[in-house]
Structure 1
Amino acid sequence: MFKDIDDLSDSSVLIVEDSSLTQKVLSACLDGLCKVDCVFSAEDAIQHCLDNPPDLILMDWILEGMTGLEACKKIQAMDELNDIPVIFVTSNTNENQQELCWDAGAVDFLGKPIVARTLVNRVRTHLKYKRQTDILKQYSFFDGLTEVFNRRYFDMESQRLFKQNLRQQQNLAVVMLDIDYFKFYNDHYGHLQGDDALKAVAKVAVKMVNRPLDSVFRYGGEEFAVLLPNTDKDGAQKIANAIVDAVKGLELPHCKSRFDVVTVSAGVAIGKYGQYDSVQSLINMADKALYQAKDSGRSQAVILD
């Protein structure tokens, strides 16, 4: 797989360097290999990573304010950032300083003055490793049957988005979906056809969720979840209703349902800035809305905020 990763043009590198001249030299060396952003301080680097995580960081050791070493340690301590590899760029590569680089969590270091070919080869190698890791991680986060994200990834992504939206003072909407009378469906039609129904519902949910940052997950059994960052009440309600209507519109026969076709119920909760103390509280509210949708007759979406 590593050899197959040749095009890195959509990979991103963040250069953290307080010298404009060095920024230009590093950027020029990487021109054509990947996308490059530059900041002058460690503080700006951390904020940039939180807002738009790069695939790799080139960090100067000596910076005004927070040092590169301190910034690397801080990045490594943050769950949402600690998978970003850091390469130190330093004029001092003695043994003691190398030890400090490794202890801080860096993956490599480059000596100054910069040797262009060495820089390009090191960056290319670490970007390939990062791409390979991301691909393998993505495979481990998918549900094999429905081909949407799995519960493991939901638990991680919901935590990350909750913290991000809290930091950016935005809303986070959670939609919980459950196939109505699914046990009766499985008992009557068999598990193979039940699997087909699960795949059909997942495909519809993905189709109705259009924005790149919105995600569909298999939460467990016949239950799915949708995460909608920066989404208000009307937007979340619209998506939930669209999924409910689209599943019913498939007209998959279900003689054990009062609707005669496969349907889903949906519960929606909106995590407004500062309203919930944890993402689990928000998920619990979406679950409560889902139970209300079930109790109110099924094949509908109920929103609580």
Structure 2
Amino acid sequence: MTADSHYILVVDDQMSNIELLDELLGSDYEIRFALDAEGALQRIAQQLPELILLDVMMPGTDGYTLCAQLKADPVTRDIPVIFLTALATPDEETRGLEAGAVDYITKPFTPAVVRARVRNHVELKRSKDILLALSQTDVLTGLANRRFLFDRLASLLPDPEQHSRSLGLILTDVDDFKRYNDSFGHPAGDHCLQRIADVMRAALRGQGDLAARYGGEEFCCLLPDASQEQTLQIAERIRADVEALHIPHCRTARHPHVTLSIGVTHKPAGRHQPISELLGLADQALYQAKAAGRNRVICAKDSEEDQPAHGA
């Protein structure tokens, strides 16, 4: 599922209504459609829409039920829903708003009203998305910030009663970075961190993975559903690719070019592990990588099986 939402989903069991809305809105937005709730959920699972125009009365699952279902899911709850209905009584409007809809459009459609209400809610959604992205992003590197990292960790490490997914975690630290800043200045240090962030971003497998700035010169990667072997491979790729940048380091550094020390830990599916424990294991492995000479990857001993260190 992608976060890049650039279409409006029309859910209506009458093709004539879908065709009319496509005629009214198709020049400004990409319009996709579904004839029932099941088809709508399939569309949404492929890509999140910016806005949903949802018929109230449909065979099977009605619009109220589908809207409530979408609002109960953290993935879809922020998608604005406008109900399409011929029922315009106060009780019906109240029921729709309580289900989570942001507005109503009554049938038969008035073109100017449809365009205005859709435009207003799409613009509002885009403004909210921009603010949300800013609140979740590290300004210097463009990666996720520490706050968003912990929010994602909390979602991936549910309560013990809930089934949990496997999770690979990579914690990195730039070797001798204080010496780098002292020798070349903070603007050069900022540029160095930006180049390392680009490497980490490129190493991710896809939409579900997350790279974040953990703090200062430390970065963290979350790899949901990754095996321990995959986690180690990605960590080693990050280490090798940063070394391959050949960013000159100061003479007093252990290595002639900027390098990373990396700690890795892996939580198998079904095992409950608090955030503090998972990060603590990765931090211990990171400390071991530094003590062993830096510029290497070490897996936490408490992971599924001990792995040898990688790197120089």
- Scaled by the length of structure 1, what TM-score is found? 0.77
Unmatched runs of 5 consecutive residues or more in structure 2:
159-163, 305-312
Deviation at 1:296, TM superposition (A): 3.9
Specify every segment of 5 or more residues in structure 1 that has no aligned partner in the other structure, as ranges: 1-8, 164-168
Q: Does residue 259 of structure 2 align to residue 267 of structure 1?
A: no
Q: How does 1:18-33 map to 2 (within 5 A)?
A: 18-33=13-28
Match of 2:116 among 117, 121, 139: 121
Cα 1:17–1:292, aligned 2, differ >3 Å: closer, same or farther? farther
Q: How many angstroms does 1:187 deviate by?
A: 5.9
**Secondary structure class of the residue paired with 1:143:** coil
Q: Partners in 2 of 1:92 and 1:49 — Cα distance?
A: 26
Relative to structure 2, which stretch is displaced further, 208-217 or 48-57?
A: 208-217
Does the Cα contact within 8 Å between 1:289 and 1:302 map onto a contact in 2? yes
CA distance in 2, matches of 1:107, 1:186: 50
Report matched runs for 1:30-41 at 5 Å: 30-41=25-36
> 2:196 — aligned with what?
201
Cα distance, 1:48 vs. partner? 4.2
Equivalent residue for 1:251?
247
2:157 touches 2:273 (CA, 8 Å); kept in 1? no
The AA in structure 2 aligned to 1:138 is A
Change (3 A) 1:233 1:117: farther
Deviation digits for residues 132-178 of structure 1, max 9, x if unmatched?
A: 22122222222122232211222334556779xxxxx9865432222
Compute the displacement of 1:108 (Å).
0.9
Q: 1:298 aligns with which of 285, 289, 294?
A: 294
Q: Mark the CA change 1:59 to 1:292 in structure 2 (over 3 Å): closer, same or farther.
A: farther
TM-score by length of 2: 0.76
Aligned length: 294
Give the distance between the partners of 1:224 and 1:69, measured in 2 at CA: 43
CA displacement at 1:224 relative to structure 2: 0.7
Offset of residue 81 of structure 1? 1.8
The one-letter amino acid paired with 1:221 is G
Q: C-alpha distance in 2, partners of 1:157/1:277?
A: 14
Cα 1:235–1:25 shift into 2, 3 Å = farther
Partner of 2:51: 56
Equivalent in the alignment of 2:7:
12
> Partners in 1 of 2:32 and 2:10 — Cα distance?
6
Once the two structures are TM-superposed, the CA of residue 86 in structure 1 deviates from its matched residue by: 0.6
Residue 151 (1) aligns with residue 160 (2) = no
Q: Is the 8 A contact 1:10 1:35 kept in 2?
A: no
**Which residue does the alignment assign to 1:179?**
174
| 3-state SS of 1:241 partner | helix
Shift of 1:264: 0.8
Aligned equivalents of 1:114, 1:204: Cα separation in 2 = 51
CA distance in 2, matches of 1:31, 1:50: 22
1:63 to 1:280, Cα distance in 2 relative to 1, 3 A: farther
Alignment partner of 1:221 is 2:216: yes
Offset, 1:113: 1.8
- Kept after mapping to 2: 8 A contact 1:145/1:199: yes
The Cα shift of 1:93 comes to 1.0
> Does the 8 Å CA contact 1:17/1:41 hold for their aligned counterparts?
yes
Give % identity: 33
State the partner residue of 2:90.
Answer: 95
